[in-house]
Structure 1
Amino acid sequence: MTSPLRSTLDFLVHDWLQADSLTARERFADHSRETFGAVLDTCERIAREKYAPFNRTVDTQEPQFDGEKVILPQCTHDARLAYAESGMLSAAQDYALGGMQLPYLVESAANSFFACASISIGSNLLTTGNANAILVHGTPLQQQVFAANEFNGRWAGTMCLSEPQAGSSLSDIATRATGDGEGFEADPLGPRYRLRGNKMWISSGDHELTENIVHLVLAKIPGPDGKLVPGVKGISLFICPKHLVDTEGRLTGERNDVALAGLNHKLGWRGTTNTLLNFGEGRHPVRGSAGAIGYLVGQPGEGLKCMFHMMNEARISIGMAATMLGLAGYYASLDYAKTRLQGRPVGSGGKDASAPQVRLIEHADVKRMLLAQKSYCEGALALNLYCARLVDEGRTGQGQAAADARLLLEVLTPIAKSWPSEFCLEANSLAIQIHGGYGYTRDFPVEQYWRDNRLNMIHEGTHGIQAADLLGRKVVMQGGAGLQLLARTVGATIAQARQTPELAPYAQQLEQALQEVGAATQAAWATGNPGEALANAVPYMQAFGHVVLAWVWLDVAHVVLSQDASLSIAANAGRMGACRYFFHYELPRIGAWLQVVRQRDATCAALAEDAF
């Protein structure tokens, strides 16, 4: 029997996003709908067998540090090995790297099974993102030694940005990188530096799952006067392996001067090790002196440019993680609502205690909560897969189509990360509500889904940072070209939907909402004062995201109504119901959000500190 998630993925990937058409391109010519399906089958099976049964295990058996190494439950080792052996670490990479040359769309869809089954076991995104950053910015030898061994599963990867005194404020990092003696520029693995500093919130920063861990570290190279350059201009990027290696990728037997300072014990994602790392403190002196050895990636001072290649990828993955946690909660609460007997229907003998109880799903308010979850989570899944499709178009498309895809992805990335992080978390809250008191206990998984999902509004750029990026940069860059492109893209869907009587009212509603967002954008920047414009960036992002999701649902609904009878009536009815819910209950909310944006309301920004 096809699972609900697989049914939804098949519809979105094939019927809505037309993944099969990608096989006409040279890069994907060896593939077909059948090979795509085989990949999904494999990942669904591994997730079902190696991940899902142990989601509670890794939540209760947190990583432990015994003073020498990090201890993880055996199920984490088994799941990671199964994932690596499946080839999914290099699924979208070239054949020459051992990859499958899959479309990123299919890779994203396949990875969703792991995120839904157990997000904290299935957190492999940093290894892939790390390797991709090295592929783009590293030297050929760095690609061969480090990226290739991450893609084949031998090694894992991290990104080391934040520091205890500098969380999201990367301009304030203090980790230093100094040249490692005479001729340090001539090391075949790259200019060799000594790193000294402390890094915080490093996911998978230490473990025994792989033989080596490749840290990508942001650090500042001091100027001629020995002082660090203020701001972000002096930040460079370094490859800093846990164990030193030679040019053939063999471990030399030398431990790098990277020490685990402690583990962070978290609200959720407890199965993923999260660490404080000290670089160059001298606990593991290497080659006669303290200082972790790191190899420069790219050019000095261009560390953020290199790292943000990885971070943008991670942000889309975080949106997918939030989505899948929301869907996991939706599926659990739907199953509970279909089986749990509770009360009697209003208006039909509800006060007659002798009448039989009805299932929760027969109550209108429970249906409201289920439909809200469905509209949030399936809509977010559609959005994130659409963004994955844009990645493929940007990489393999031609001319203007490829350029437009890259620009549209730039505008949508803050939404793809932030909107699921907020509203799929709300879906998890509704899943708890449907379970009632049981939902607040550990007898059911919905409380864990909420705890796991709460992280996604924080990491890889907080909600406020994403909002500032959207209103402060993305919608105004290139003279507003990205926003104009999105408006034209949405407008094309509106024009199509107008031709279908059932969708025409929604097309009109979406057109009005789109105009309101455009007017609010102009009003926010009317004075040219960033402080005024960005004071209400989060309400702006909430409204913007709701308009984007309404567009996604309208486009999905148009495809549903254009389909033949090959899709199940129930699945179609559910998608249409979710679309109606979003337009009736959600899209009208944008008025209040945009009002404070248009007025450049200073209620929050202007309140004196002592008034709090």
Structure 2
Amino acid sequence: MSLRPTVDFLLYDWLGVQTLSERARFADHSRETFDAVLDTCERIAREKFAPFNRLVDTQEPQFDGEKVILPQATKDAWDAYAASGMLSAAQDHDVGGMQLPYTVEAAGNAFFAMASVSIGAGMLTVGNANLLMAHGSPLQREVFARNAFSGRFSGTMCLSEPQAGSSLSDVATRATPDGEGFEADPLGPRYRLRGNKMWISAGEHELTENIVHLVLAKIPGPDGKLPPGVKGISLFIVPKKLVDTQGRLTGVRNDVALAGLNHKCGWRGTTNTLLNFGEGRFPVQGEGLGAGLDGRGAGAIGYRVGEPGKGLSYMFHMMNEARIGVGMAATMLGMAGYHASLDYAKTRPQGRPMGPAGKDPTQPQVRIIEHADVKRMLLAQKAYCEGALALELYCARLVDEQRTGDAAAADDARLLLEVLTPIAKSWPSEWCLEANSLAIQIHGGYGYTRDFPVEQYWRDNRLNMIHEGTHGIQALDLLGRKVLMENGQGLQRLVARMQGTIARAMQRPELAAHAQALAQALQQVGAATQAAWATGQPTEALANAVPYMQAFGHTVLAWIWLDVALAALLAAPSPARQGRLAACRYFFHYELPKIGAWLQVVTQRDMTCAELAEDAF
């Protein structure tokens, strides 16, 4: 079973991505060039990623005392991905990019995520470079971002700390100016960083010449104390190996040391690290490194990005990209399990039909796909995973609108993305994980063994509810910020789009009942939003933020499926068309009704969980 027909339908028949070639930025492209990119991604994913997914799961990264050892297949996959040009796919021609729409880039990356999310591709490296293109100095963009786009350097994001986790206001890594002339360094104001960062994906390896760490740290005040809260956080470029202004390695290792590899449930092919900055294992003395690097004070050399105290706002540029990337990874892991369990269900004989004929043990067994409950589990997976893929590509299309649309369309896309980003990250990480669980169930006892891939897909996917902001954090962001921001403008724009789909679907007899159900769900979500904030007390409003997000997400996915179904009705009759309409029907009959229970506790501002005393547990 191939993913490509689904991708083609969503890109061209639903989103109309081919029309983007009418815009000046994408004028060199057409559906033919988009297809060529997808062909390349599909081929590399099939040849360099998929065959080694189990290998990288069993041969975890090892540290030999000097370097991290990864399977050769990981290096080959990285080199093939870099050579494809996908690291700079959406960048300008003059920096070596293809000026592809981000929607096409996201669709291309879906093939890699499905083939082996554990090997990884370029999500963090691209996000790192994109942040520097947006907020770095011209030389920082030239030296660090462009070398990342070529695949020569890779990148990370260093936020969490062992004692702080997701509580970034408690970041304790400090950055002190490196001597009197620290502001004169051409690569940016130069600091010495000391601290520890935890959960750093791809934090140490030999896949690239250099690793560019983007590190959040605080600059001490005149009293030597770190400023409280997130407003005191600044952002720094801390390369593993120091470079000159031409991007050439100087031969000097920066004081960034691997403190340990985290051994994970899934994503085992990607190194996940604890890093120490400025512990003195690689003291930078500065010989031959240029003016000012005279060894004043121990610490890792870091170059400040932008203004002091604005580091978190800069980092959100990368974090929001990463959240959509995590949503896509979760989606494609779910899709991989769906395809595997569908293939299994078509070939596995077990049991006999219901009714009198099924009681005759001499009759041949039927394939399990003929059982209603197996069809239920397959249809649930299809509804979750194809719906999530549509959502991720829709968000990617909004990115293109924000970058290349007129002022009104760009602002509309910006507001919609603000509201949808928590859903794009959280919904697939919960429900495509459930799809992986159903894939195991379809395999029965075999699904629990390593003879089949579905248990690995589940293990890999379990990380995504934590990755790049936990489920609870996304819920607080949605109900506490996104639906309220700019006087609720983002939510209002989303409601308007949903109402547009409802109006069109009401004209189609096949979809009118679904349209009515979505309209009712939309009213329920709106009423719950108002009821949650009725007292104006955040403690009460946010006590049930996760159930709110679950209901909100299900309503968004119902809208996505209704919109996709409208496009499917325009296609010629086919099994694929029948399947999409059935998945839409499944979602409206089996999934959307769940929102009532979730919204009840939100509307009542139920404090059962929030007020329970610790010792009652």
**Coarse TM-score class (shorter-chain normalised):** over 0.9
User: Which residue, 571, 575, 584 being the options, matches 2:580?
Assistant: 575
Q: Distance in 1 between matches of 2:552 and 2:233?
A: 33
Residues 105-127 of structure 1, C-alpha deviation per residue, up to 9 Å, x if partnerless? 00000000000000011242000
User: Which residue, 256, 259, 280 being the options, matches 1:258?
Assistant: 256
User: Which residue, 534, 538, 542 being the options, matches 2:546?
Assistant: 538
Q: Which residue of 2 aligns with 1:358?
A: 366
Counterpart code for 1:388: A
User: Which residue, 578, 590, 610 being the options, matches 1:605?
Assistant: 610
Residues 516-573 of structure 1, C-alpha deviation per residue, up to 9 Å, x if partnerless? 000000000000000000000000000000000000000011111123x2xx601000
User: Which residue, 169, 172, 189 being the options, matches 2:170?
Assistant: 172
Contact 2:191 2:304 in 1 (8 A): yes
Aligned residue for 1:535, secondary structure, equals coil
Q: Distance in 2 between matches of 1:278 and 1:508?
A: 56
Q: Distance in 2 between matches of 1:436 and 1:85?
A: 41
User: Which residue, 185, 206, 209 being the options, matches 1:208?
Assistant: 206
Counterpart code for 1:610: D
Aligned residue for 2:609, secondary structure, equals coil
Unaligned residue ranges in structure 1 (runs of 5+): none
Aligned residue for 1:473, secondary structure, equals helix
Q: Which residue of 2 aligns with 1:490?
A: 498
Instruction: For 1:160-239, list aligned pairs within 5 A.
Output: 160-239=158-237
Residues 499-518 of structure 1, C-alpha deviation per residue, up to 9 Å, x if partnerless? 00111111001000000000
Aligned residue for 2:428, secondary structure, equals helix
User: Which residue, 543, 558, 569 being the options, matches 1:561?
Assistant: 569
Q: Distance in 2 between matches of 1:278 and 1:291?
A: 10
Residues 50-71 of structure 1, C-alpha deviation per residue, up to 9 Å, x if partnerless? 0000000000000000010000
Aligned residue for 1:120, secondary structure, equals coil
Residues 223-245 of structure 1, C-alpha deviation per residue, up to 9 Å, x if partnerless? 01110001111100000000000
Q: Distance in 2 between matches of 1:210 and 1:409?
A: 33
Q: Distance in 2 between matches of 1:55 and 1:159?
A: 24
Q: Distance in 2 between matches of 1:461 and 1:129?
A: 16
Contact 1:284 1:290 in 2 (8 A): no
Counterpart code for 1:422: E
Q: Distance in 2 between matches of 1:242 and 1:319?
A: 29
Q: Distance in 2 between matches of 1:559 and 1:510?
A: 17
Q: Distance in 1 between matches of 2:171 and 2:58?
A: 34
CA separation of 1:295 and 1:348: change in aligned 2, threshold 3 A: farther
Q: Distance in 2 between matches of 1:40 and 1:562?
A: 24
Q: Which residue of 1 aligns with 2:75?
A: 77
Q: Distance in 1 between matches of 2:68 and 2:407?
A: 49
Instruction: For 1:135-174, list aligned pairs within 5 A.
Output: 135-174=133-172
Q: Distance in 1 between matches of 2:81 and 2:258?
A: 26
Counterpart code for 1:170: L
Aligned residue for 2:211, secondary structure, equals strand
Instruction: For 1:405-484, list aligned pairs within 5 A.
Output: 405-484=413-492
Q: Which residue of 1 aligns with 2:40?
A: 42
- Is 2:240 the partner of 1:242? yes
Q: Which residue of 1 aligns with 2:291?
A: none
Q: Distance in 2 between matches of 1:263 and 1:350?
A: 54
User: Shift in Å at residue 480 of structure 1?
Assistant: 1.1
Q: Which residue of 1 aligns with 2:288?
A: none
Q: Distance in 2 between matches of 1:14 and 1:384?
A: 15
Q: Which residue of 1 aligns with 2:298?
A: 290
User: Which residue, 360, 368, 376 being the options, matches 1:368?
Assistant: 376
Q: Distance in 1 between matches of 2:67 and 2:508?
A: 62
Contact 1:260 1:276 in 2 (8 A): yes
User: Shift in Å at residue 182 of structure 1?
Assistant: 1.6
Q: Distance in 1 between matches of 2:360 and 2:116?
A: 43
Moved more, 351-360 or 519-528: 351-360
Counterpart code for 2:416: L
User: Shift in Å at residue 348 of structure 1?
Assistant: 4.2
Q: Which residue of 2 aligns with 1:393?
A: 401
Q: Distance in 2 between matches of 1:306 and 1:536?
A: 30
Unaligned residue ranges in structure 2 (runs of 5+): 286-294
Q: Distance in 2 between matches of 1:97 and 1:213?
A: 20
Q: Distance in 1 between matches of 2:96 and 2:16?
A: 26
Over the aligned positions, Cα root-mean-square deviation in angstroms equals 0.7
Q: Which residue of 1 aligns with 2:597?
A: 592
Residues 235-281 of structure 1, C-alpha deviation per residue, up to 9 Å, x if partnerless? 00000000000000000000000000110000000000000000000
Q: Which residue of 1 aligns with 2:330?
A: 322
Q: Distance in 2 between matches of 1:348 and 1:299?
A: 77
Total equivalences in the alignment:
607
Counterpart code for 1:595: Q
User: Shift in Å at residue 349 of structure 1?
Assistant: 2.2
Aligned residue for 1:178, secondary structure, equals strand
Q: Which residue of 1 aligns with 2:88?
A: 90
Q: Which residue of 1 aligns with 2:307?
A: 299
Aligned residue for 2:358, secondary structure, equals coil
Percent identity reads 80
Q: Which residue of 2 aligns with 1:5?
A: 3
Q: Distance in 2 between matches of 1:476 and 1:174?
A: 31
User: Which residue, 96, 99, 120 being the options, matches 2:97?
Assistant: 99
Contact 2:472 2:546 in 1 (8 A): yes
Aligned residue for 1:349, secondary structure, equals helix
Contact 1:379 1:549 in 2 (8 A): yes
Contact 2:78 2:121 in 1 (8 A): no
User: Shift in Å at residue 598 of structure 1?
Assistant: 0.2
Counterpart code for 2:21: T
User: Shift in Å at residue 580 of structure 1?
Assistant: 0.4
Q: Distance in 2 between matches of 1:316 and 1:49?
A: 26
User: Shift in Å at residue 340 of structure 1?
Assistant: 0.2
Counterpart code for 1:509: A
Aligned residue for 1:378, secondary structure, equals helix
